[in-house]
Each structure stands twice: as C-alpha cells, then as structure tokens.
Amino acid sequence: MKKYELLTVFKPSLDTEELDKIVDKITSEVKSYKGSIESIDKMGRKKLAYDVQGYRDGFFTTIVLSIPGESVVEFKRNLKLNENVLRFMFMEVTKKVQAV
C-alpha cells in the first residue's frame, strides 16, 4: 500500500459537528478499502484565494492515509460525489532523501 496525503476544502456553511461526521465518513471509507489513517489535521476555516462554487472561504482538513493502489480511483470518485467537498488534492507521499 502506498501512502497518500489528502487535502480537502469543505463548505464553510457546515458546523463542527457536521464536519466531524463527514471526516469520520471519509475515514471509514478508507478502512472499507482495507486502508489505514495515519493522521488527521483539521486546520480550520480559511479564506480562499478565489471564489469556489460561490464560497470565499472553507474548512481545510489534511488526512495522511494508506490505501491500496487499485482503490484510489474509486475513492477519488466518491470524494467528487460528496456535495460538501468544494475541492480536494490527493497526492502520493514520497520519502525525502537526506543529503550527506
């Protein structure tokens, strides 16, 4: 399994309880694909550089996860279908090479 970082921007109209439920749903979805969650960082509400779907700010969350490669496409498709997600960026985490 590869390690990925998921940066997600959620709608600002959500309250903290709704946001927690959505993040829990995403983590349970990762586990349903036989993946694992390493860390979750809820960065809070931040202003966006430009309007996204009519919103000027959003809730930012970073999740570091491991998921099998064959499940990535389906996982990303489900994120696109989530109406509370304004934008997301799904990146593979690579190991840093240390200079001698």
pLDDT in tens, the chain (100 residues): 889 999 999 999 999 999 999 999 999 999 999 999 999 999 999 999 999 999 999 999 999 999 998 999 999 999 999 999 999 999 998 877 666 6
Q: Which fold has domain 2-92?
A: Alpha-Beta Plaits (3.30.70)
pLDDT of residue 100: 66
- The tokens of 61 are what? 């969350």
Ordered by start, the domain boundaries in the chain are: 2-92
- Contact in structure between 85 and 8 (CB atoms under 8 Å): yes
The CA distance from 70 to 13, in Å, is 34
